[in-house]
Structure 1
């Protein structure tokens, strides 16, 4: 193993640990406060779909001989830059997103007070069903293609690789939009109370290492198709870091020490006041 290969593996596991740990602070904060107030279910809910898609696509890129052969035919004999830690990270993220989502959907089962934001917004529901419909359409196109199992026609025809790409793009779409509802909620509340900044710091550091690992892998291969051939992983790190920067600015600069608007304060502190009892 060369030095660069060692660094790639090291960065891969460190970002895996950072991103994996980032799933815990929000659910732990919710549990300690016995409330989900100050945060919205949109984030963990759409994450369930995103990480399921990310797990399926990573597993296919990593372990399917057909997908890897079609990838090599399309990208000049190169292999996907997906690592085993990408698969374990995606599966872990999916499971933890389900657990966190359950805190919003079933607050009484967790012993939480009812809070604002426990139902997905129409915007997020539209993205959810739109992604599912899009993947189904591509699957029908691939199934109808006579060259779907071919490696020689992978460059110009619809093949199973395209179906895997369609699934992977779900994670890309989710990454672009999943943070937006929480950014807006923080803005409306003029506070980040109830939203864990620890998960954001871990996410930011993990994004830096993820992009670095992918750059090292592409450099080792001597071709930047390692990035263009896996745009989801590349965008996952970059888009997340942009949103993370917004959350960091909100928490440490714009709303530093703020408890939220007076009308929201009881909810943000997880109290059992009249305001919360009217929200179910």
Structure 2
């Protein structure tokens, strides 16, 4: 094993550890406070869909002979840069996201004080529905293609590799928007109270190492198709780090030491407050 191969493996497992640990601080903070106030269910809920799609696509890229053959045909004989730790990370993320989501949707189960942020926003529900419909649509297109099972990639026809890409893009879409509700909640409350900054610091570290590993793998293969052929993994690190930078700025600069307004602004675009006013 060369030095670069060793570094790739080390980076892979360290980012796996950092990203895996990043799922715990928020659920632990919620549990210690016996409340989810100051946060919104949108983030963990849509994370469930994101990591489900990520687990399915990574599993296919890593284990499916057909998908790997179609990938190799499309990308000059190369193999996907997906590693085993990507699969374990996705499955672990899915499990922890489900647990965290349950704290919002079933507060009585956790003996939590009910919070207005427990209800998903229409925006997030719309994104979830749109992603599911989009994937089903692509699968139907692939099923109608006579060359869908062609190991050579099917030329210009739709093959199962395209369906796996569609599934993987769900994770990309989720990553692009999943932090937005919490950014807006923090902005409206002028505080990051209730939102764990530890998870953000771990996520940022993991993003740096994830991109580093993919870059090393592509360098070793002598072809940057390792990145263009797996754009989701590359985008995950970059997009997450941009959002992390926003959260770090909010926590340590803009709203440093601010307690915020308890019970306010826990739903996307003020949906929670509007509902409360109607009840009053």
Please give the range of the TM-score, normalised by the shorter of the 2 chains. over 0.9
Identify the residue that residue 191 of structure 1 maps to in structure 2.
191
Identify the residue that residue 147 of structure 2 maps to in structure 1.
147
Contact kept, 8 Å, 2:176 with 2:239, in 1: the verdict is yes
Identify the residue that residue 271 of structure 2 maps to in structure 1.
none
Q: How many residues get paired?
A: 268
1:85-108, Cα deviation, whole Å (9 max, x unpaired):
000000000000000000000001
Give the distance between the partners of 2:169 and 2:98, measured in 1 at CA: 20
1:224-257, Cα deviation, whole Å (9 max, x unpaired):
0000000000000000000000000000000000
1:61-117, Cα deviation, whole Å (9 max, x unpaired):
000000000000000000000000000000000000000000000001100001121
Q: CA distance change for structure 1 residues 221 and 38 in 2, over 3 Å: closer, same or farther? A: same
Contact kept, 8 Å, 2:69 with 2:152, in 1: the verdict is no
3-state SS, counterpart of residue 116 of structure 2: coil
1:264 CA drift (Å) = 3.9
Identify the residue that residue 123 of structure 1 maps to in structure 2.
123
Contact kept, 8 Å, 1:11 with 1:209, in 2: the verdict is yes
1:120-172, Cα deviation, whole Å (9 max, x unpaired):
10000000000000000000000010000002243411000000000000000
3-state SS, counterpart of residue 167 of structure 1: helix
1:262 CA drift (Å) = 6.7
Give the distance between the partners of 1:34 and 1:261, measured in 2 at CA: 17
Give the distance between the partners of 1:98 and 1:34, measured in 2 at CA: 18
Identify the residue that residue 57 of structure 1 maps to in structure 2.
57
Give the distance between the partners of 1:15 and 1:95, measured in 2 at CA: 18
Give the distance between the partners of 1:198 and 1:225, measured in 2 at CA: 34
Contact kept, 8 Å, 2:22 with 2:199, in 1: the verdict is yes
3-state SS, counterpart of residue 80 of structure 1: coil
1:263 CA drift (Å) = 6.7
Q: CA RMSD in A?
A: 1.5
Identify the residue that residue 207 of structure 1 maps to in structure 2.
207
Contact kept, 8 Å, 1:68 with 1:79, in 2: the verdict is yes
Give the distance between the partners of 1:97 and 1:245, measured in 2 at CA: 22
Show the 5 A alignment for 1:70-149.
70-149=70-149
1:261 CA drift (Å) = 3.0
Identify the residue that residue 46 of structure 1 maps to in structure 2.
46
Give the distance between the partners of 1:246 and 1:197, measured in 2 at CA: 11
Q: TM-score, normalised by structure 2?
A: 0.93
Identify the residue that residue 173 of structure 2 maps to in structure 1.
173
Give the distance between the partners of 1:8 and 1:167, measured in 2 at CA: 26
Contact kept, 8 Å, 1:23 with 1:96, in 2: the verdict is yes
3-state SS, counterpart of residue 118 of structure 2: coil
Give the distance between the partners of 1:263 and 1:120, measured in 2 at CA: 16
3-state SS, counterpart of residue 117 of structure 1: helix
Q: CA distance change for structure 1 residues 43 and 205 in 2, over 3 Å: closer, same or farther? A: same
Contact kept, 8 Å, 2:38 with 2:262, in 1: the verdict is no
